[in-house]
Structure 1
Amino acid sequence: MSATTFPAFLNLPSELRLKIWTYLLPGPRILPIRFSRTTKSYITPSAPPALLSISSETRSLFLAHYTLLQLNPSYDSTIYIDFALDTLFFEHEDCSPGGDLAADLRICEARDRIERVAIDAHLWEILRLFRYDALSEIRCLTGLKNVALVLRRGDEDADEGLGFFTGNEIRFERCLPSQERLRRMFFEGPATVEQEISQCRWYVSTVKWELDHGSGFEWKNGEPPAVQMWLR
């Protein structure tokens, strides 16, 4: 018997086997969400969980903790989620069959169970061109605990230690509406990393203000979700 095999494993009591298999559960994940126009289904670039394909025993264990996520009931999905642990990350323009993420989330049967959402900051800008309401994608997620706007730093260095931004400080004079930023990018070239960070801070503050001062919201946790900026 080699150091990597254990033929007697199947002879162990099922309770012990399941306890061992539990260590292969993925744990908290950030799941990029995309819609494949080839397969007409929701997919994620993340590797599929191994427990799904080892045996019927491991598959049953996995499905006891994870649920197949169908954002739009008209389309299939290959994404399994633990709502208590995983973050849905909308990081690409192809995250919705019709290009309207807010509409998909409104008809998602599991929308009340989604607790953590992250949206790429540049995708968020694009979405605002079609839906000006800053809360369009999150107002129907009544179980939401955390929402993050994700800024990709690219090849340049950003401010060290920035990490997470909660919207408590802001320099408004450096913030521009999305339409103005698009105009400047066309005529003046891409913004610097520092400008992108400042702009994303403003977006975070906007969402936080809307959540704190908006009316008609009924959050399952009794309070609005935390809002952060992530640097990636």
Structure 2
Amino acid sequence: MKYTQWIITFANGFKISETIITSWIIMAALIIIAFFLTRNLKPVPTSKVQIMLEYAVVALRNLVKGNMGDDVEKKMPNMLPYIGSLFLFFVCSNLIGLLGFKSPTTDVDTTLAWALITCFLIYYQGVKAKGPGYFKGLLEPVPLLLPLNIVSEFARPISLTFRPFGNILGGTVIMGLLYQLLAFVSSLIPNVSIPFLQLMIPVPLHLYFDLFAGCLQAFIFIMLTMVFVSNATE
């Protein structure tokens, strides 16, 4: 299983990877879909589309409030759209592999960027809520634990980065090996030129690795984000 790392190279040596192109495609698709779904919204919903959208937004708001408190929209008004956008982008990044694209989640740069954004949000909201005294938490419960607390701060973005990256990449590698195995087995059957085994057997595994595991990792990531930010502002 091979992927092209760089697909656009400019004269000055600047390169654009397949991961970036795929991420742009996902963002463009989400923007276009959001534009068409949110047109002609009414104060009292009459269409099924608006009813489903409002149901999804209310469910997301309840999830955020349940983990971060009822006053989260007052303290952090951008948290709700951030969590929603992150979840949608995460899920689409995992599912786009079904269309033949390289999943951005299988590139550690993508998950590292998400982890760094989350960590920046944690420190920003912590300092905003407590001021410079937020960093006094590194000395708790006793100053002797300062080295361990510093290590835990570095471990947080590492954990957020490699948890989704490892799970999604592992599923991609397994599926790639399975397709190669099925193609080999199909080639052993006489008078058969089509690797028909690849058409049916991988379907249940795709449902698990791409759909279930992808949505699960996206949910875990946003839950950890909300918990970390909420703890920083307490």
Give the TM-score normalised by the residue count of structure 1: 0.26
Higher relative helix content: 2
The structure where strand makes up a greater share of residues is: 1
The structure having more radius of gyration, on CA atoms, is 2
Per chain length, whose mean CA-contact separation is higher, i.e. which structure has more relative contact order (CA < 8 Å, sep 6+)?
2
